[in-house]
Amino acid sequence: MDTIQQTIQPQGSHFIDGAHVEDKAGREILCRYAATGEVVATLHSATPAVIEQALASAKRAQAEWAALPPVARGRVLRRVADILRDRNEALSQLETIDTGKPIQETRVADASSGADALEFFGGIAASLTGETMHFGGAGGDFVYTIREPLGLCVGIGAWNYPTQIACWKAAPALACGNAMVFKPSEVTPLCALKLAEIFVEAGAPKGLFNVVNGYGDVGAALVTDARVDKVSLTGSVPTGRKVYAAAAGNIRHVTMELGGKSPLVIFDDADLENAVSAAINANFYSTGQICSNGTRVFVQEAMVKPFTDRLVERTRNARIGDPLDPETTIGPMITDDQRQKVLNYVRIGQQEGAQLLLGGTCPDGPGYWIEPTIFGGVTDGMTIAREEIFGPVLSILSFSDEAEVTARANATEFGLAAGVFTADMKRAHRMVAALEAGTCWINEYNLTPVEAPFGGVKLSGVGRENSRAALEHYSQVKSVYVATGDVEAPF
């Protein structure tokens, strides 16, 4: 572990105004490698002085950045993307150490999806324009609009995708001419620091993308600062409620990417192997720590037995082990706390009468491991079918017809995502039209290309990330009325 520690320990806990910053007066953050529980880096939560420095420097940088030609801004973002791709291997290893996710995943899903966002929004930066509306024909009055940045944006991240979350927020924000102060989750503080270094290397003004590490109180201090124009949070619903309420105090813009309890509906005409593959991806990728996971797997009655048998058989092939081994397919949970929370749900599932078909226990030894877990015979009222577990726990629920399953799929306070597997395309489109979810997949699950909007309805959030839709959430429109004649007045 010595070598990991030497390369992982950042030069400072924060990255502000183009440099690493340390203030040891802040509360300690012990960064542990989830596979072993060993401390690989020690950081300090931001003090008020650090927060002040970050906000003041970002405010300065925003003015400089917004004054650049949009095409020059786009070029910087695309350079960041190039560097992310060039260093994908090193960044993937860092992501694996930061999160415990298998290297097999991080090589394809993290720095690379961050790069996609930077390329997409870097390419779009120069095409952001306003509109013109004419009144009374040529030579008459008209209105033109100016698409302006919001100013200073705060991004707050969850632990599961530290690089991707930072890029999904920074890329559209910066493309629109904003600056960002980003606070990673306190359990994954490393990756965003590296991203901040890369922004400066790519030519971004110092301070444009600052990273402050810290606990929830640091997030709260950022959200309530009067200089902050927008807050984008990826996190749980309870945190979302607090951040949304705090931002309301200053009537600030928000994007809320929150939790879910999404349905994956499998009709008996679906391709069995594809449906099983999707259920595996929708529950066990990143050891189940994905907001959009399809954790309520509704299977039509005639399909329940073949689906369950095949799912259990294939899940037995999961390779739990060293996340840095390319053959490993299941890593540990992020922290022991999170594992205990998941184990508690497993116990509740059994107590409430669900059938534990696979997993549910922890392999011996250090690290925060838990086996992929499958429950059969789950009913809608059970706790494991209602609450977000955020771990590798899949519930199989049976259904008889489309109307019934649509109503049951929607009977949740969440609305992040949903999936439908069927050979009948008319039924698939009819169902997704009726499903209350921000993102739906037909005969797939959990693919989130940057070109497509991503976000939730109901308690799962407000706003959209990715795609052109994200631009609406990082810019505002000024309307300018231009008169060409005299001014009429009543007296």
Using CB under 6 A as the criterion, which residues of the chain lie in contact with ligand NAD when the complex forms? 156-160, 183, 185-186, 215-216, 219-220, 223, 234-236, 239, 242-243, 257-260, 291, 388, 390, 416, 456, 461
Q: How many CB atoms lie within 10 A of CB 44?
A: 20
Task: For the CB of residue 220, give the shortest distance to ligand NAD in the complex, in Å.
Answer: 4
For ligand NAD, the closer CB: 299 or 334: 334
Partners of residue 154 on adjacent β-strands: 181, 231
Residue 15 structure tokens? 């990255």
Q: Is the Cβ of residue 159 or residue 368 nearer to ligand NAD in the bound state?
A: 159
CA 367 to chain centre: 24
Comparing CB distances to ligand NAD, the nearer of 73 and 261 is: 261
**From the candidates 257, 388, 402, 465, which is the catalytic residue?**
257
Of 307, 288, 229, 299, give the one whose Cα is nearest residue 475: 229
d(CA 158, CA 165): 8
- Give the distance from CA 386 to its chain's centroid: 21
The least CB distance from residue 187 to ligand NAD, in Å, is 7
Sign of CA dihedral 216, 221, 223, 229: negative
Distance (Å, whole) CA 282 – CA 175: 31
The single residue listed with the structure tokens 């609305």 is 415
- Least Å distance, CB 67 to ligand NAD, is 31
Instruction: State in angstroms the smallest separation of the CB of 465 from ligand NAD.
Output: 7
Q: Closest separation between CB of residue 348 and ligand NAD, Å? A: 18
Alpha-carbon distances of 391 from 131, 296, 309, 354, rounded to whole Å: 46, 13, 22, 17
Beta-carbon contacts of 480 under 8 Å, excluding residues fewer than 6 positions away, are 143, 144, 145, 146
In the three-class reduction of DSSP (H, G, I as helix; E, B as strand; rest coil), residue 439 is classed as strand
Q: In Å, how far from its chain's centre is CA 306?
A: 34
For ligand NAD, which is the closer residue by CB, 89 or 217? Answer: 217
Q: Is 257 labeled as catalytic in the residue annotation?
A: yes
Min CB(396)–ligand NAD separation in Å:
21
Residue 388 neighbours by CB under 8 Å, 6+ apart = 236, 237, 259, 260, 261, 295, 414
196 in Cβ contact with 210 (< 8 Å): yes
The 3-state DSSP class for residue 335 equals coil
Torsion sign, CA atoms 270, 273, 279, 281: negative
Q: For residues 82 and 76, give the distance between their C-alpha atoms in angstroms, rounded to a whole number.
A: 10
Residue nearer to ligand NAD on the CB measure, 259 or 367: 259
Q: d(Cα 415, Cα 432) in Å, to the nearest integer?
A: 12
CB 261 within 8 A of CB 414: yes
Q: How far apart are CA 208 and CA 65, in angstroms?
A: 8
Q: Cβ contacts of residue 119 below 8 Å, gap of 6+?
A: 77, 78, 81
| Nearest to ligand NAD of 119, 257 (CB atom) | 257
What contacts 222, CB < 8 A, 6 or more positions away? 51, 55, 154, 156, 181, 183, 212, 228, 231
Cβ-based nearer residue to ligand NAD, 44 or 183: 183
Closest residue to ligand NAD, judged by C-beta, is: 219
Q: Smallest distance, Å, CB 467 to ligand NAD?
A: 14
Nearer to ligand NAD (CB atom), residue 128 or residue 191: 191
Rounded Cα distance between 245 and 221, Å, is 13
Residue whose CB is less far from ligand NAD, 244 or 307? 244
Q: How far is the CB of 24 from ligand NAD (least distance, A)?
A: 20
Q: Which helix (H) or strand (E) holds 391?
A: none
Q: Considering Cα of 356, then 359, then 365, then 367, what sign does the dihedral take?
A: negative
**Least Å distance between CB 233 and ligand NAD?**
6
Catalogue the active-site residues.
Answer: 257
